[in-house]
């Protein structure tokens, strides 16, 4: 069985824990004084319509009496490591998805720690007791079902879906609960008469494929409880990545370049925060028909430079577009071959102010600004079109 454990409003909950006077109040991390964007919002703030990636000025208008606090990303990362350490007490098979959520396969530790339900309860109680933070747990035989279960139970929820209850659990849910179905996809499915997961399940797979291509087959598999993905151990330790599925397929190179710029910035920032260097860069590219491709390049020397990562990613995108010119529904960038950034490095013998050193200073400054004002408070001009669109359309 698989557990999906997701911390509830992680950043905001940490602030409420550390400052008891904030408990029960609407708390917004980032976006203070109308600057930058919201990084996280407590559930009390969400009741006013505030959500992450919202401009701070908009959040203030929605809830002027909210408590706006500056983000402390290093502190949140430290707490995230403590959460992950608790996960590893119960199973070595942990796949972190971010600082605040992970998949856990507990099939091999049932004799040690009890049933999956008992393990889930113990994990949630341990997090509450040791870290004084709420978490939601979903348990199911499939990854995507465990994820849906934890989402439905939020906040501080606990939902278990037995192996023989997957169909009963999924059938009444809206199609938007399935992985890969955004607002545009939901509208398209509803136009075809598919409103619930059951509507997809009872349809012949060939009929769905004729209507929706490979995406239709993907949806049919999920609706019928078919998900062969396993929990991947140490996912973040082996690589760091960022990807985005678009609410509308993209085809113009200007928009795609803006997305690549944004993804490069966010991935490089995570790399530096983890004190790692990358030696390979991979571009993931999913077409409108759900066919997925990737291209990778090995670097001559490991790097954590946003500029270097961006330059390689843009070259990979151009190579991919020349081969696959159709519209794109997903782009992703992942960094692999990670090494310790604190390991000894060969220095410039002449001590010159090289372009590399100047780029490093820009990265350091932008990281500092982002940690204080939110990740969208500072970004390259080449990312502007995508960040602007993201704020307006709330695509992810």
SS3 of 184-206: the string is HHHHHHHHCCCCEHHHHHCCCHH
Whether residues 211 and 294 share a domain: the answer is no
> Which residue bears the tokens 């889930």?
120
155 and 89 in a common domain = yes
**Can you give the residue range of the structural domain that contains 325?**
235-393
Q: Which residue, 164, 180, 212, sits at the end of a domain? A: 164
Q: What is the pLDDT of residue 368?
A: 65
- Report yes or no on 230 lying in a domain: no
Q: Are residues 65 and 181 in the same domain?
A: no
Residue 299 and residue 280 in contact, taking contact as beta carbons nearer than 8 Å: yes
pLDDT per residue, tens digit, the chain (396 aa), is 999 999 999 999 999 999 999 999 999 998 776 667 898 999 999 999 999 888 888 999 999 999 999 988 889 989 999 999 999 999 999 998 888 999 999 999 999 999 999 999 999 999 999 999 999 999 999 999 999 999 998 999 999 999 999 999 999 999 999 987 888 889 999 999 999 999 999 999 999 999 988 889 999 999 999 998 899 885 455 678 888 888 778 888 888 989 999 999 989 988 888 788 999 999 998 887 778 888 999 998 899 999 999 999 999 999 988 888 888 988 999 998 888 776 555 444 444 444 456 566 667 766 666 555 555 544 555 544 444 444 333 322
Euclidean distance between CA atoms 53 and 38, whole angstroms: 5
Cα R_g (the chain), whole angstroms:
22
Parallel/antiparallel/unpaired status of strands 2-7 and 101-105: antiparallel
Q: What is the pLDDT of residue 166?
A: 96
Q: Is 225 helix (H, G, I), strand (E, B) or coil?
A: coil
Same domain, 59 and 198: no
Give CA–CA dist 37/59, Å, rounded: 9
Q: Report the largest interatomic distance among the alpha carbons of the chain, rounded to a whole angstrom.
A: 70
Q: Is 325 inside a domain boundary?
A: yes
Query: Is 234 annotated as contributing to ligand binding?
Result: no
The active-site residue out of 15, 21, 47, 101 is: 101
Are 47 and 14 in contact by the 8 Å Cβ rule? The answer is no
Rounded to whole angstroms, the Cα distance separating 215 from 350 reads 55
Burial class (CB in 10 A: 0-12, 13-18, 19+), 211: middle
Residue at which a domain ends, from 135, 164, 193: 164
Give whole-number Cα distances, 73 to 37, 81, 168, 326, in Å.
15, 12, 40, 38
pLDDT of residue 202: 96
In the listed set 141, 164, 187, which residue is the last one of a domain according to the structure? 164
pLDDT at 369: 63
- Cβ-Cβ contacts under 8 Å for 295 (sequence gap 6 or more): 282, 283, 285, 316, 319, 320
What distances in angstroms separate CA 169 from CA 17, 151, 155, 174, 186, one per listed residue?
A: 34, 13, 19, 11, 19
Residue 211 sits in the same domain as residue 184: yes
User: CA 183, CA 234: separation in Å to the nearest integer?
Assistant: 32
Domain match, 13 and 159 both: yes
228 domain-assigned: no
Are 49 and 386 a contacting pair, CB within 8 Å?
Answer: no
Do 126 and 258 lie in one domain? The reply is no
Is residue 240 one of the residues assigned to a domain? yes
CA angle 117, 120, 121 (to 5 degrees): 85
Residues 6 or more apart whose Cβ sits within 8 Å of residue 318? none
User: Which CATH number belongs to the domain containing residue 348 in this structure?
Assistant: 3.30.1490.100
Residues 143 and 212 in one domain: no
Is residue 113 in a domain?
yes
Count of domains for the chain: 3
Residue 392 labelled as part of a binding site = no
**Which residue do the tokens 């010119």 mark?**
325
Separation CA 90–CA 116 (nearest Å): 10
Residue 333 CA to residue 210 CA, distance in Å, equals 31
Is there a contact between 337 and 241 (Cβ–Cβ < 8 Å)? no
Question: Are 8 and 148 members of one domain?
Answer: yes
Is residue 28 one of the residues assigned to a domain?
A: yes
Cis bond upstream, residue 155 (ω within 30): yes
Does a structural domain hold residue 283? Answer: yes
CATH number at residue 213: 1.10.150.20
Active site residue 101: yes
| pTM listed for this prediction | 0.66
Does 196 share its domain with 266? Answer: no
Is residue 165 within 8 A of residue 200, CB to CB? The reply is no
51-60 long-range Cβ contacts below 8 angstroms, 24+ apart: 51/394, 53/376, 53/390, 53/391, 53/394, 54/391, 55/31, 55/391, 56/28, 56/30, 56/31, 56/32, 56/374, 57/31, 59/28, 59/31, 60/31, 60/34
Residue 229 lies in a domain: no
Partner residues linked to 282 by β-bridges: 296, 334
Q: Which of 314, 330, 193, 178 is nearest to 248 (CA)?
A: 330
Residues 153 and 295 in one domain: no
Task: Report how far residue 269's alpha carbon sits from residue 374's, in angstroms, rounded to the nearest whole number.
Answer: 12
Instruction: Please say whether the beta carbons of 152 and 365 come within 8 A.
Output: no
User: Do residue 384 and residue 333 come from a single domain?
Assistant: yes
């Amino acid at each position: 069985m698989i557990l999906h454990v997701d911390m509830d409003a992680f950043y905001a909950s940490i602030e409420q824990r550390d400052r008891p006077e904030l408990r029960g109040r609407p708390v917004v991390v980032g976006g203070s004084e109308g600057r930058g964007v919201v990084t996280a919002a407590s559930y009390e703030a969400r009741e006013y319509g505030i959500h992450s990636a919202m401009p701070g000025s908009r959040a203030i208008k929605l809830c002027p009496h909210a408590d706006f606090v500056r983000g402390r990303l290093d502190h949140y990362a430290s707490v995230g490591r403590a959460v992950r350490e608790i996960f590893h007490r119960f199973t070595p098979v942990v796949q972190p998805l971010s600082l605040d959520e992970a998949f856990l396969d507990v099939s091999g530790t049932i004799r040690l720690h009890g049933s999956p339900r008992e393990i889930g309860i113990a994990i949630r109680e341990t997090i509450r007791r040791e870290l004084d933070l709420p978490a939601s747990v979903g348990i199911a035989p499939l990854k995507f079902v465990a994820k849906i279960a934890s989402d439905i139970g939020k906040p501080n929820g606990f939902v278990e879906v037995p192996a023989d209850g997957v169909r009963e659990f999924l059938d009444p849910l809206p199609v938007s609960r399935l992985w890969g179905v955004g607002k545009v996809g939901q509208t398209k499915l509803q136009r075809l008469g598919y409103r619930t997961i059951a509507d997809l399940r009872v349809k012949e797979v060939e009929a769905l494929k004729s209507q929706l291509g490979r995406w239709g087959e993907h949806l049919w598999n999920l609706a019928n409880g078919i998900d062969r993905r396993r929990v991947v151990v140490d996912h973040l330790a082996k690589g760091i990545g960022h990807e985005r599925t678009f609410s509308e397929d993209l085809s113009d190179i200007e928009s795609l370049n803006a997305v690549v710029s944004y993804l490069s910035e966010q991935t490089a920032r995570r790399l530096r925060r983890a004190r790692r260097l990358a030696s390979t860069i991979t571009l993931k590219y999913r077409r409108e028909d759900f066919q997925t491709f990737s291209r990778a390049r090995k670097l001559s020397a490991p790097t954590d430079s946003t500029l270097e990562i961006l330059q390689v990613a843009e070259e990979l995108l151009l190579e991919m577009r020349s081969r696959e010119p159709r519209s794109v529904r997903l782009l992703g960038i992942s960094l692999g071959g990670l090494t310790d950034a604190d390991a000894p490095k060969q220095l410039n013998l002449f001590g010159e102010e090289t372009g590399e050193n100047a780029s490093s200073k820009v990265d350091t400054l932008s990281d500092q600004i982002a940690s204080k004002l939110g990740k969208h408070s500072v970004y390259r001009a080449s990312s502007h079109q995508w960040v602007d669109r993201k704020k307006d359309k709330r695509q992810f």
